[in-house]
Amino acid sequence: MIQMAMANSGSSAAAPPRQDQHDRSKWLLDCPEPPSPWHELKSQVKESFLTKAKRFKSLQKQPLPKRILSILQAVFPIFGWCRNYKLIMFKNDLMAGLTLASLCIPQSIGYATLAKLDPQYGLYSSVVPPLIYALMGTSREVAIGPVAVELIDPETDPLGYTKLVLTTTFFAGIFQASFGIFRLGFLVDFLSHAAIVGFMGGAAIVIGLQQLKGLLGITNFTTNTDIVSVLRTVWRSCHQQWSPHTFILGCSFLSFILIARFIGKKNKKLFWLPAIAPLISVVVSTLMVFLTKADEHGVKTVRHIKGGLNPISINDLEFNTPHLGHIAKIGLIVAVVALTEAIAVGRSFAGIKGYRLDGNKEMVAIGFMNVLGSLTSCYAATALECLTRLLYYTPIAILASIILSALPGLIDINEAIHIWKIDKLDFLALIGAFFGVLFGSVEIGLLVAVVISFAKIILISIRPGIETLGRIPGTDIFADTDQYPMSVKTPRVLICRVKSALLCFANASSIEERIMRWINEEEEDENTMSNDERKILFVVLDMSNLMNVDTSGITALVELHNNLIQIGIELVIVNPKWHVFHKLNQAKFVSKIGGRVYLTIREAFDACFGLKV
């Protein structure tokens, strides 16, 4: 059947009768009105909810328990997978959990100290939130810390400061969860793949440099994260106070972890070795310090973990404070920043492992994590006191070397080379994010990446280029003469196509100028042949690339038409898209050029030359 339809259409395309062509031209001129922007927005929102609604409808036919389960599954994915959970999966997950824990716990303690909170909050943040969501809850404190210090000095009022941070966390959680519920998950898409590769590379180096503090046993370390401040501090400290014992200890365990990973990679049977190497390091080094009392000889340990607070920190939340408005504002900023970072990190892990993130679920999870975290922090801390006691003698250098050992995996040079080969502008976003994180901060890096990515979109969309079209030999197809060098130019006609998707204020006037310049050049070239009449009769403007046109664009088209009329050339429009045609029609441009709008260049030729030649 299809074959037949093909053959049929093929033969009718061969010699289209004039009547047919007239009909087709009418189809273009009388096309239905496109949906208005409001209508389009509405249908887009509807569509995004439709899938849910459909699922919900098919749900209503099912018994109540099954219905509840389905809704729970949609909000908490754990209900989805826990029923099909198998033992083999548990083994993998245990490994992942151990790796994560051995990475997260020390890192979180470090970050908590950086945010001027007691270390057990760091511990809590690496243990409680993973019960709700893994990995996050670290950068949150880093973001809150410096801002919160402006309001309350942690030195003079430690309890007030803690309350402030917990309340801010609560607000951040509320905001994040509502982002997710209101389906702002499309924000996930604001980071391009290239930007994430650059961002992760820069972040890895910055985190690595931060660990020099622990590895060298330096006491006074900068709170800035940029490479310049960190290296300056390290340089200064190397001349004054650093602990060689700590350094040797850290380096030897770092080598152990790296060797373990190398073995794990070479020998697939020993895959568990790299996963538990960090844990072994912590246990062995803690024992070593405990037995040799090395902490009295300059080796810094986690040490200053104090006893618990009151069991549930819900009492620590303060809503009755003059700072509340300010706190809510910080909460919003933290929510946005933490979310972007979390998604950047999560996305890049997803990219490595090959699965996709649902931005909305992601946000709801992170939000709930923060709310519950702020309500339960001290409860968790109390419950974990035994663990904190065990960590008392753990040397900080070991925690630093565990983090350091994980970083090379975040720097993906091969991917960077791949991106360089495929897309130079994408590579620019990568480099921007990388150096932004390295010399500025995480926020600056993200900002640079987003700005470059969007600047690239704008650049490509408004590039004021036009291309000439020629006929592909043996067909009725007209294509770019640069891409298809074998295409043949048609004499006496200038066929051109706008190279960008928009004819708007930013490129309309230069496109108009360029077309006029081309015509003048063409005419000059032909002037060598001493022929009196003008060489170009038509300018055929192929609009198939244009997605949209604005009022400045229409003004430029009118100007172009007026200029062409003055030198006796006719303007013909070919294949305008729905919205473009509608706007040209509304602005009376179609009637101004005498209705010379055609579906294809071939039809335009037939119609124009049929009348003129």
Of 255 and 586, CB closest to a second copy:
586
Residue 504 sits in the site that holds a second copy (CB under 8 A): yes
Task: Retrieve residue 66's tokens.
Answer: 């099954």
Residue 476 sits in the site that holds a second copy (CB under 8 A): yes
Of positions 57, 86, 266, 421, contacts a second copy by CB under 8 A = 421
Of 93 and 476, CB closest to a second copy:
476
Is 398 in contact with 249 (CB distance < 8 Å)? yes
> Which positions from 25 to 54 touch a second copy by CB under 8 A, shown as an x/- string?
--xx--xx-x-xxx------------x---
Of positions 60, 320, 483, 566, contacts a second copy by CB under 8 A = 483
Report DSSP letters for 481-492, one per residue.
TTT-TT-BPPTT
Task: Retrieve residue 70's tokens.
Answer: 């389905």
> Which positions from 76 to 95 touch a second copy by CB under 8 A, shown as an x/- string?
--------------------
Residue 56 sits in the site that holds a second copy (CB under 8 A): no
Minimum CB separation of residue 609 from a second copy in Å reads 6
Residue 558 sits in the site that holds a second copy (CB under 8 A): no
- Give first-to-last CA distance, the chain, whole Å: 41
Which is it for strands 597-598 and 548-549: parallel, antiparallel or unpaired? unpaired
Minimum CB separation of residue 424 from a second copy in Å reads 5
Task: Retrieve residue 45's tokens.
Answer: 């929102």
Of positions 84, 424, 528, 611, contacts a second copy by CB under 8 A = 424
Residue 613 sits in the site that holds a second copy (CB under 8 A): yes
Strand-pair partners of 56: none
Residue 561 sits in the site that holds a second copy (CB under 8 A): no
Binding range to a second copy, per CB under 8 A, among 5-13, 200-208, 369-377, 526-534 = 5-13
Of positions 159, 422, 565, 567, contacts a second copy by CB under 8 A = 422
Which residues does 205 contact at the CB level (< 8 Å), separation at least 6?
227, 407, 411, 437, 438
Residue 611 sits in the site that holds a second copy (CB under 8 A): no
Region of 116 (left: φ > 0; alpha: ψ -120 to 50; beta: rest) is: left
Of 361 and 418, CB closest to a second copy:
418
* 467 backbone dihedrals φ, ψ, rounded to 5°: -125, 145
Residue 552 sits in the site that holds a second copy (CB under 8 A): yes
Of 191 and 327, CB closest to a second copy:
191
Residue 468 sits in the site that holds a second copy (CB under 8 A): no
Residue 472 sits in the site that holds a second copy (CB under 8 A): yes
Strand-pair partners of 539: 494, 571
Residues 525-544 that bind a second copy (CB under 8 A): 544
Residues 174-203 that bind a second copy (CB under 8 A): 186, 189-195
Residues in contact with a second copy, counted by CB under 8 A, come to a total of: 99
Nearest to 34 by CA among 498, 547, 540, 595: 547
Judging by beta carbons within 10 Å of its beta carbon (0-12, 13-18, 19+), is residue 525 exposed, middle or buried? exposed
Task: Retrieve residue 575's tokens.
Answer: 């294949």
Is 167 in contact with 334 (CB distance < 8 Å)? no
Of positions 263, 283, 501, 516, contacts a second copy by CB under 8 A = 501
Residues 426-465 that bind a second copy (CB under 8 A): 426, 453-454, 456-458, 460-463
Of 20 and 157, CB closest to a second copy:
20
Residue 262 sits in the site that holds a second copy (CB under 8 A): no
Is 120 in contact with 353 (CB distance < 8 Å)? no
Count other Cβ atoms within 10 Å, centred on residue 117. Answer: 24
Q: How many CA atoms lie within 13 A of 256 on its CB side?
A: 19
Report DSSP letters for 492-548, one per residue.
TEEEEEESSSEESTTTHHHHHHHHHHHHHHHHHHHTTS--SS-S--EEEEE-TT-SE
Residues 569-588 that bind a second copy (CB under 8 A): 577-578, 581, 583, 586-587
Which of the 8 DSSP states describes residue 395?
B
> Which positions from 341 to 370 touch a second copy by CB under 8 A, shown as an x/- string?
---------------x--------------
Of positions 93, 153, 157, 482, contacts a second copy by CB under 8 A = 482
